């Protein structure tokens, strides 16, 4: 079988690779504490589950949805107005997504021709780059550096790349770096997009998972944002509906229309019981969101304080359900001492060694400690030297992970 070139341009997803390693270890009777994939283990609120079950028991709801129900679109518009102060037209400025990932994979198909440029953050969630690759676009990475708070520097984007770009993907609170962006950044983003006539996709999947009393708004609330872009939001993390695949595209009417047109050729809409569950989630009592936020904040404290206490310093993230951690210095010294190189964190070894450092450390953690994390280079070139840990286990399991790593002698 000879595959299409576009498939050859895509590697096997990192999470599929990690899942296979996990399955092999479990099959051998070994415990795995999985901190790799951001799969929420906090279920939806009871009133959402009740709504879903009631709708799923109605045989009339198993027809093709074809399009979004008016009740759903109205609920999303009311949610964004109430939560972010953003007013949208339900008929022309909102469409559902079968999870944000589906939209992220496909939106470049509506904007970019073969050879056009898509600007993507580095590091970034893998599908940010994969979507442009699927569309046949050329990717231009926008490095996000620790010394700039992981904010994109628009002045560093070459003018030639900016002029050729059709789309740029931006996401704060950010996965994997967990950074947040302020008002000045978004004003600069809108001005940059207008100057170069670039469509903006802002992914706001972690808008509700912000900690220590901080607040998070919407890109669409900034003057001029509706002229240049759309925002994706999701019910996966905030409402525990990850498996139901419920997301939304909101904002610029032309961009939303393009998504609707593409989706009309690709799927038959969101399962009607999921639409009912989404309405219940965003329109009903919101204490469940606050409770979820508190749970992740508590897990963050246990994980960061625990690993820091055993010699792996970790800064507490401002937001998201992740921790972005540098590979421990003790591990880098060990690599240097045994001749295997530590170039991913500033050494002088070959590029090949640099690319493998995060993966090597991640594989040692699973082999010696039974703790699974995601290697930073899976998120792009600038992710080398880091790993991402997901706050998807309860506090006791996180404490077990800390103890397992301490006892393993990995660093």
Position 349 confidence tier, pLDDT thresholds 50, 70, 90: very low
Instruction: Provide the mean pLDDT of the chain.
Output: 93
pLDDT value, residue 1: 80
Strand (E) or helix (H) holding 117: strand 117-122
Q: What are φ and ψ of residue 68, in 5° steps?
A: -75, 140
- Looking at the predicted structure, is the pLDDT value of residue 54 above 50? yes
Cβ burial, residue 157 (10 Å; 0-12/13-18/19+): buried
Residue entry with tokens 């576009």: 6
Nearest to 284 by CA among 46, 68, 86, 43: 46
What are the structure tokens assigned to 118, written together? Answer: 């898509």
pLDDT value, residue 405: 98
What are the structure tokens assigned to 288, written together? Answer: 């469940």
- Is residue 232 a contact partner of residue 247, using CB atoms and an 8 Å limit? yes
Could you report the per-residue pLDDT of 371-381, keeping only the tens digit for each?
999 999 999 99
- Is residue 319 a contact partner of residue 180, using CB atoms and an 8 Å limit? yes
Domains and CATH numbers, the chain: 5-43+288-408 (3.90.1150.10), 46-283 (3.40.640.10)
pLDDT value, residue 340: 65
Question: Going by C-beta distance under 8 Å and a sequence separation of 6 or more, which residues neighbour residue 260?
Answer: 95
- Is residue 323 a contact partner of residue 317, using CB atoms and an 8 Å limit? yes
- Looking at the predicted structure, is the pLDDT value of residue 347 above 90? no
Chain-centre distance for alpha carbon 23? 24
Q: What are φ and ψ of residue 387, in 5° steps?
A: -135, 155
Tell whether pTM > 0.85: yes
Task: Please give the biggest Cα pair distance in the chain.
Answer: 67
Could you report the per-residue pLDDT of 147-184, keeping only the tens digit for each?
999 999 999 999 999 999 999 999 999 999 999 999 99
pLDDT value, residue 15: 81
Strand (E) or helix (H) holding 184: helix 183-196
């Amino acid at each position: 079988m000879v595959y299409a070139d576009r498939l050859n341009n895509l590697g096997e997803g990192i999470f599929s690779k990690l899942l296979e390693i996990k399955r092999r270890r479990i099959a051998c009777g070994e415990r795995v504490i999985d901190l790799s994939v951001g799969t929420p283990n906090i279920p939806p609120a009871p009133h959402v589950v009740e709504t879903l079950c009631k709708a799923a028991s109605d045989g009339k709801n198993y027809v093709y949805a074809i399009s979004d129900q008016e009740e759903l679109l109205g609920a999303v518009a009311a949610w964004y107005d109430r939560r972010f102060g953003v007013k949208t037209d339900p008929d022309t400025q909102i469409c559902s997504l079968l999870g944000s990932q589906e939209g992220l994979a496909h939106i470049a198909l509506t904007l970019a021709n073969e050879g056009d440029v898509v600007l993507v953050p580095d590091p970034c969630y893998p599908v940010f780059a994969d979507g442009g690759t699927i569309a046949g676009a050329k990717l231009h990475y926008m490095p996000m550096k620790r010394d700039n708070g992981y904010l994109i520097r628009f002045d560093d984007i070459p003018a030639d790349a900016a002029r050729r770009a059709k789309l740029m993907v931006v996401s704060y609170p950010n996965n994997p770096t967990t950074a947040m962006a302020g008002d000045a950044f978004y004003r600069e983003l809108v001005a940059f997009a207008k100057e170069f006539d670039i469509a903006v996709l802002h992914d706001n999947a972690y808008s509700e998972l912000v900690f220590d009393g901080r607040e998070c708004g919407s890109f669409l609330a900034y003057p001029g944002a509706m002229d240049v872009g759309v925002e994706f939001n999701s019910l996966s993390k905030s409402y525990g509906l990850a498996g139901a695949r419920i997301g939304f595209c909101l904002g610029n009417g032309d961009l939303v229309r393009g998504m609707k047109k593409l989706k009309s050729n690709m799927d038959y809409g969101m399962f009607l019981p999921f639409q009912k569950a989404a309405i219940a989630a965003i329109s009903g009592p919101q204490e469940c969101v606050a409770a979820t936020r508190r749970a992740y904040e508590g897990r963050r404290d246990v994980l960061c304080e625990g690993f820091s206490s055993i010699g792996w310093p970790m800064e507490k993230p401002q937001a998201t359900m992740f921790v972005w951690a540098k590979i421990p210095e003790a591990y880098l010294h060990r690599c240097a001492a045994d001749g295997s190189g530590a170039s991913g964190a500033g050494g002088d070894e070959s590029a090949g060694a640099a690319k493998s450092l995060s993966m090597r450390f991640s594989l040692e953690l699973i082999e010696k400690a039974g703790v699974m994390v995601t290697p930073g280079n899976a998120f792009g070139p600038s992710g080398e030297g880091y790993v991402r840990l997901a706050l998807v286990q309860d506090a006791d399991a996180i404490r077990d992970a800390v103890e397992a790593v301490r006892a393993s002698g990995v660093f």
